[in-house]
Structure 1
Amino acid sequence: MRIGVFILIALAAAAVAAEPPRSAYVVIVHPANRVSRIDRKFLAEAFLRRATRWPDDTPIHPVDLGPDARARIRFSEDVLSRSVASVRSYWQQRIFSGQGLPPPELADDEAVVAYVLGHPGAVGYVATGTALNGATVLEVN
């Protein structure tokens, strides 16, 4: 009996471990944007304002969540390979030297969705499970 229970527990644990981890966020763009996949490096360049145009020459308008948002923390780590504090330091240096301004920070996921839907070149990220209201989810490679 104990062996059977042990095997059952081991199989359940293996099944849970085999599931791929779900991302804490999804990257979204305006529905008119024809891009369906985006390279992680290009996405980072867009949020650091080094890439400024989509392939169709539309200006890129990145938008961030506030610094304490879980999706922001994960996005910064996964895409920018930096902590939120490091990204803020990067922007402080750019602002001080007159080399640019950071993307706007919006209060919540719903505000990011509304911004993206209102700006054809916009790109943002929201927590997984947020109502997207027609915004397009990008596959990040």
Structure 2
Amino acid sequence: MTTPTRLLPLLLLGSLAGTAAGEPLVVVVSAQQRIERLSQEDVTNIFLGRFRTLPSGLPAAPIDQPANSPLRAAFYQQLVNKDVASINAYWSRLHFSGKATPPRQTNSDGEVLRQLLSQPGAIAYVERRQVDARLRIVFEFPP
């Protein structure tokens, strides 16, 4: 008999595989922003706190999915080939030294979209199926 604690890693892997393979992640901004495209390097620098402004001149306001979200794990794996524990350790070091602030973390997908649409300079990652006329895709991971 398989215990629930043994099933958890399998479920997480299944969710990541479904997200990464079935529904691509894209990086988006509000359609009102003047940004058209970003490179993977730009996205990396924004989400790792190296760039504090967007190419449009607005202060960068990156938004993260919830801490335990499979989307968050898939995003950082695709972006910088790091797991969430490594990203958390990275931010702990930077935050402690006062050099940068991590992306604002949300509690739900809906909150990601609300913040994205209400804050100038906001940038986030979502599943492609969530993109509508209010959003502009500025980066897509290569297939």
Q: TM-score, normalising length from structure 2? A: 0.75
Which residue in 1 is equivalent to 2:134?
134
For residue 132 of structure 1, report the CA deviation from its aligned partner: 4.3
Change (3 A) 1:102 1:128: same
Distance 2:117 2:70 in 1: 22
For residue 83 of structure 1, report the CA deviation from its aligned partner: 0.9
Consecutive unaligned residues in structure 1, runs of 5 or more: 1-20
Partner deviation per Cα, 1:73-129 (whole Å, 9 max, x = no partner):
111011132111101000111122122221111011111111010012000012332
1:24·1:70 contact (CA, 8 Å) conserved in 2?
no
Which residue in 1 is equivalent to 2:111?
111
Structure with larger Rg: 1
Q: TM-score, normalising length from structure 1? A: 0.76
2:79 equivalent to 1:79:
yes
Distance 1:81 1:120 in 2: 29
Distance 1:71 1:122 in 2: 18
Consecutive unaligned residues in structure 2, runs of 5 or more: 1-20
Partner deviation per Cα, 1:32-58 (whole Å, 9 max, x = no partner):
222222100110100111011122211
SS in structure 2 of the partner of residue 63 of structure 1 = strand
Change (3 A) 1:46 1:30: same
Runs of 4+ in 1 over 4 A off after TM superposition: none
Please tell me the root mean square deviation across aligned C-alpha atoms, in Å: 1.8
Partner deviation per Cα, 1:13-36 (whole Å, 9 max, x = no partner):
xxxxxxxx5554221102222222
Distance 1:68 1:127 in 2: 16
Which residue in 2 is equivalent to 1:101?
101
Give the % identical residues: 26
Distance 2:23 2:35 in 1: 20
Task: Work out the number of aligned pairs and report it.
Answer: 121
